[in-house]
A and B are shown apart, each in its own frame.
Chain A
């Protein structure tokens, strides 16, 4: 039974042995393979038979999924379902967690993400990430955005950097609010502004994919609406995967929605289908707030 304790260390939620056993049976009988449309024709990211372990504990079970170019894929599911773990595989953020092992084929533009020769620094420039809590560096607004291009050697001259900073802040919808105080600390901005600053920082290095891990959960509805508007705008140039606890947000921003349950990818379908007529009973139970 220990092998079915699916939560990552430090994320485990109290569960009695009885409920775990019950869930195990449930999952075995209900989740055999992913229903819906996990694959697409113009895949930017391809993941096949991905298994993730935290030491002996398996957190992701045989997940296969494509994320297409200029597509927003939302990943939803209850706490501990593995959606964040899966997202973090896509730019090898899990490498930083001790005891975490990723198996399976993951490719970006058909090149392996976990290849032996892959350097994670340029990989993470191509696959940027925005976290739940806005985490600007304790530096000026300008430096926050210019830092990435500098270390990746993208903008060497001041004029080039100025242009990158302005463009990134404009794209993140923050330019007008901060253009007169670029030399002030990024930490002095409001929560919503900080999150848009982090998005500006992520896009400053011209990534191809942006991963977002609950980017709005610490924001008020207006700041959330701005970020969602921004996601829609960014989709024209980037591939986006977003983990969210807000079902309405998934419904609003994504073209496809993936539902994770106890480390299994239960269903992937057009977002419209998922929210009006989901195929799998577990998806239905989750998005309608029923006992799964």
Chain B
């Protein structure tokens, strides 16, 4: 799929849109590695790496603000229409989702620090690793689909969120069982639960990004279960 964003009569407009998209994808790259680092810090009980994740969080917030500012300028100067407008809108929305993914990564990092301090909770790690791998793949694939304007890939990735939600619910049931079996583990297992919750939310944000790929390419708003809007276009 080619969206011809480089074919405006105004070369400056081409460049403005291109750099907005690049900014967003760079932010996506940074956020993706934040998630990976946070999960790794948790798995290795590495509080130093977790601290690093918390430091970079600030940088992500700044990038979201910069993208918003640049998108606002494009709207003010160019009054984009049609696919250009959808490009700007989708970048703004994705940047917000990415910022929240960054927040979730920070939560995981904080749990890594807490769990390291308390002594590790061996239970629940398998589930964390499993869900972490799934949502990291979703996030990568969603950004990849955006880069390639690939609606089919976006729809495939979007569908994976259902499995993540199911895995999350079954992991929660498992954790509840642990807590009932051994009440002394409750505080540690609750940290594991928060981590699982944060990871599950990352899956939701990846899903939102996929919805923006569909919006950008097809002009259909499929958020909140309105997949039928895609068929109508």
Contact = CB atoms under 8 A, between A and B. Distances in A.
**Interface core residue of A247, A274, A276 (most chain B CB under 10 Å):** A276
B233 A289 contact: no
Interface stretch (B46-54, B81-89, B122-130, B178-186): B81-89
A288 B10 contact: no
B231 interface: no
For this complex, into which size category does the number of interface residues on chain B fall?
10 to 19
Contact of A277 (B4, B13, B86): B86
B82 A276 contact: yes
A278 B79 contact: no
Contacts of A287: 81-82
Contacts of A274: 82
B9 interface: yes
A174 B83 CA distance: 39
Given A275-B81, A276-B86, A277-B233, A288 B8 contact: yes
B7 interface: yes
Interface in A224-260: 247-248, 251
A110 to B, nearest CB: 33
A11 interface: no
A277 B80 contact: no
Contacts of A288: 8, 80-84
A247 B81 contact: yes
Interface residues of A, number: 16
B9 A289 contact: yes
A274 B8 CA distance: 18
Interface string B70-85: 0000000001111111
A113 to B, nearest CB: 33
15 contacts: A251-B81, A274-B82, A275-B82, A276-B82, A276-B85, A276-B219, A277-B219, A277-B220, A283-B82, A285-B4, A289-B9, A290-B4, A290-B8, A290-B9, A291-B7
Contacts of B83: 284, 288
A284 B87 CA distance: 13
Contacts of A284: 82-83
Interface string B1-35: 00010011110010000000000000000000000
Interface in B201-224: 218-220
A290 B17 CA distance: 13
Nearest to A277: B219
Q: A247, A278, A283, A288: which has the most chain B beta carbons within 10 Å?
A: A288
Q: Pick the most buried of A274, A284, A285, A290: most chain B CB atoms within 10 A of its CB.
A: A290
